Copies of this chain bind each other. A is one copy, B any other.
Amino acid sequence: MTSQDAHTRATTPDRGTTGWHKDHLTGSRPDLRVPVRRVHLTNGQDVTLYDTSGPYTDPSVTTDVRRGLPPLRAPWIAERGDTEEYPGRPVRPEDDGPRHTVPRAGSPGGPDQDTAFPGPPRRPRRGRDGAVSQLAYARRGLITAEMEFAALREGVAPQVVREEIAAGRAVLPANVNHPEIEPMVIGKRFLVKVNANIGNSAVTSSVEEEVEKLTWATRWGADTVMDLSTGRDIHTTREWVLRNSPVPIGTVPLYQALEKVGGRAEELTWDVYRDTVIEQCEQGVDYMTVHAGVLLRYVPLTARRKTGIVSRGGSIMAAWCLAHHQENFLYSNFAELCEILRVYDVTFSLGDGLRPGSVADANDEAQFAELRTLGELNRVARAHDVQTMIEGPGHVPMHKIKENVELQQEICDEAPFYTLGPLTTDIAPAYDHITSGIGAAMIAWWGTAMLCYVTPKEHLGLPDRDDVKTGVITYKIAAHAADLAKGHPTAQQWDDALSDARFEFRWEDQFNLALDPDTARAFHDETLPAEAAKTAHFCSMCGPKFCSMKISKSINERFGDGPSASDQEIAAGMLAKSREFAEAGNRVYLPVAD
- Report Cα–Cα, A303/B578, bound state, in Å: 13
**Complex contact B496–A360 (CB within 8 A):** yes
**Interface: A211 (CB within 8 A):** no
**Complex: chain B residue closest to A311, CB-CB:** B548
Question: Number of copies of this chain in the oligomer?
Answer: 2
Q: Which of B425, B502, B520 contacts A477 (CB 8 A)?
A: B425
Q: What's the nearest-Cβ distance from chain B to residue A524, in Å?
A: 5
Q: Name the one of B307, B464, B482, B523 contacting A552, with C-beta atoms under 8 angstroms.
A: B307
Is the pair B515, A359 in contact by a Cβ cutoff of 8 Å?
no
Q: Check B520–A318 contact: CB distance below 8 A.
A: no
Instruction: Answer whether residue A201 sits at the interface, using C-beta atoms and an 8 A cutoff.
Output: yes
Q: Is there contact, CB below 8 Å, between A552 and B309?
A: yes
Partner of A398, one of B264, B442, B511, B516: B442
- Candidates B304, B360, B516, B541; contact of A462 at CB < 8 Å: B541
Report if A445 contacts B (CB, 8 A). yes
CA distance A588 to B268 in the complex (A): 13
CA distance A322 to B201 in the complex (A): 65
| Distance A523 CA – B464 CA, assembled complex (angstroms) | 10
Q: How far is the CA of A314 from the CA of B495 in the complex (A)?
A: 23
Q: How far is the CB of A516 from chain B (nearest CB, A)?
A: 6
Q: Count of chain A residues with Cβ under 8 Å from any Cβ of B?
A: 132
* A368 interface residue per 8 A CB criterion: no
Which chain A residues (546-594) contact chain B, with CB distance < 8 Å? Answer: 546, 548-549, 551-553, 555-556, 558-563, 565, 567, 570-571, 574-575, 577-579, 581-582, 586, 588-589
A61: CB under 8 A from chain B?
no
CB distance from A97 to the nearest CB of B (A): 11
Interface string of A437-455 (1 = CB under 8 A from B): 1100110010000000000
A532 contacts the other chain (CB 8 A): no
Cβ-defined partner of A570 (8 Å) among B303, B526, B553 = B303
Min CB distance A575 to B, Å, is: 7
* Cβ A539 vs Cβ B459 within 8 A: yes
For A299-316 the 0/1 string (1 means CB < 8 A from B) is 110111111111110111
Complex CA–CA separation, A535 to B331 (angstroms)? 36
CB <8 Å contact, B303 and A258: no
- The answer to whether B588 touches A302, judged by C-beta atoms less than 8 angstroms apart, is no
Which applies to chain A's interface (DSSP): helix, strand, loop or mixed?
helix
Given A398-B481, A523-B456, A546-B258, CB of A540 within 8 Å of CB of B204: yes
The one of B303, B426, B430, B462 that contacts A519, using a Cβ cutoff of 8 Å = B430
Docked pose: A515 CA to B300 CA in angstroms: 33
Is A461 touching B542 in the complex (CB atoms < 8 A)? no
**A434: CB under 8 A from chain B?**
yes
Name the CB-closest residue of B to A511. B429
Cβ B203 vs Cβ A528 within 8 A = yes
| A592→B429 CA distance, assembly (Å) | 26
| CB of A230 within 8 Å of the partner chain | yes
Q: Would A556 and B305 count as touching, CB distance under 8 A?
A: yes
Which residue of chain B lies nearest to A560 when distances are taken between CB atoms in the complex?
Answer: B303
Select from chain B the residue with minimum beta-carbon distance to A258: B546
CA distance A428 to B551 in the complex (A): 24
> Are the CB atoms of A428 and B325 closer together than 8 Å?
no
Q: How far is the CA of A486 from the CA of B442 in the complex (A)?
A: 16
Q: How far is the CA of A496 from the CA of B434 in the complex (A)?
A: 19
A566 CB → nearest B CB, Å: 11
Q: Is the CB of A542 within 8 A of B312?
A: yes
> With A and B bound together, what is the CA distance between A524 and B430 in angstroms?
9
B586–A264 contact, CB under 8 A? yes
- List of B residues within 8 angstroms of A431 by Cβ: 473-474, 477, 515-516, 519
For residue A442, give the distance in angstroms from its CB to the closest CB of chain B: 7
Pair B304/A565 contact, Cβ less than 8 Å: yes
Of B231, B315, B360, the contact of A551 (CB 8 Å cutoff): B315
Please indicate which of the listed interface residues A204, A484, A552 has the most CB atoms of chain B within 10 Å of its own CB: A552
Of A307, A358, A544, A548, chain B has the most CB atoms within 10 Å of the CB of A548
Interface residue from B323, B526, B545, B567 paired with A582 (Cβ < 8 Å): B323
A325 to chain B, nearest CB (A): 5
The digit string for A104-142, where 1 denotes a CB below 8 A from any CB of B, is: 000000000000000000000000000000000000000
Kindly list chain B residues whose C-beta atoms are within 8 Å of the C-beta of A358: 495-496, 499, 502-503
Cβ contacts under 8 Å, A515 to chain B: 427-428, 431
B-chain residues with CB within 8 Å of residue A300 when the two chains form the complex: 559, 567, 570-571, 574
Q: How far is the CA of A527 from the CA of B473 in the complex (A)?
A: 23
Query: Given known contacts A300-B571, A398-B485, A461-B541, what 12 new A-B pairs fall within 8 Å (CB)?
Result: A201-B541, A203-B544, A265-B546, A299-B555, A299-B574, A300-B559, A303-B565, A312-B546, A358-B502, A360-B499, A397-B484, A461-B524
Q: Across chains A and B, which 10 residue pairs bring their CB atoms closest together, nearest first?
A: A308-B552, A202-B543, A461-B527, A303-B559, A358-B499, A315-B548, A398-B485, A424-B481, A309-B552, A430-B519
Ordered by A's residue number, 17 sampled pairs between the chains whose C-beta atoms are within 8 Å are A202-B543, A306-B500, A308-B549, A308-B552, A312-B548, A359-B492, A399-B484, A399-B485, A424-B485, A427-B480, A427-B494, A427-B515, A428-B515, A430-B516, A460-B524, A460-B540, A461-B528
